[in-house]
Amino acid sequence: MEFTTASQRILKQQKTRFIGIVSGHLSKMSKKEAQCSKFKDFKNWIAQNVLSQYKMPQAQSNRLLNNIYGNYREADFSKVIDEIEKRDIVFDIFGDDLVQSLQFVESWLESQKMKTDAPVITATALYFQLSLMGARSTPRGFGSNDLVKVWKTQRGLKLKEIARSKAEAELHRLELEKRAAQEQHVENETLNPDSDIAAALAELDFSNEDWS
């Protein structure tokens, strides 16, 4: 938690700078991947030119990429995506989801028996963000849709649906209360049919001589 808090501070303080770096890497990685005939060469380039800018130690860079891609011959990020979706969270270190995103990174690093100090957590979070924003391989080649935006859109729609359901439930509750009140009124009228006549008679003044 201590290192996660430190990473949170780093990413908040340098948010604008990191957004620019990550955006630049999106286009650079697409071009470089097309130039590399072997995925091993591409991974080496990522370690030296991408993770190094995130201040990831060289030894940890190689280990990180091996843990992400395993024996894949392409930048298949699906294993990490699956883990994020299992948590049912939106991963976005540049938005309101920073804390839960860093907590996920720390947990993932621990599961991979990697260091969880602030530099490693920060660099890993940035690389995860980069990959989710599109820097990953698909059956059609390198480069994919921005999953961060997709997840945030899906969450927005889900929240709207929840709000709509709550509003409909509240309207239904009010309608039931209104109907119950009306039924109670009818029942009271049925049980006391002379109540209005009795009330009217009670208001008459029989002491007046005209009644005699």
Tokens of 23: 């955006």
pLDDT at 203: 65
What's the pLDDT tens digit per position in 128-159? 999 999 999 988 889 899 999 999 998 888 77
54 and 122 in contact (C-beta within 8 Å)? yes
Q: Which helix (H) or strand (E) is 186 found in, with range?
A: helix 147-191
| CA 24 centroid distance within chain | 24
What's the pLDDT tens digit per position in 163-200? 877 888 888 788 888 888 887 777 776 766 566 666 66
Q: Please check the confidence at residue 209 and state whether its pLDDT lies above 70.
A: no
SS3 of residue 141 by DSSP: strand
pLDDT at 1: 64
Read off the amino acid at residue 34. A
CA–CA dist 163, 160 (Å, integer):
5
155 and 90 in contact (C-beta within 8 Å)? yes
> For 93, which DSSP code?
T
39 and 73 in contact (C-beta within 8 Å)? yes
Q: Please check the confidence at residue 212 and state whether its pLDDT lies above 60.
A: no
pLDDT at 197: 60
59 and 51 in contact (C-beta within 8 Å)? no
Averaged pLDDT score across all residues of the chain:
88
8: left (phi over 0), alpha (psi -120 to 50) or beta: alpha
pLDDT at 186: 77
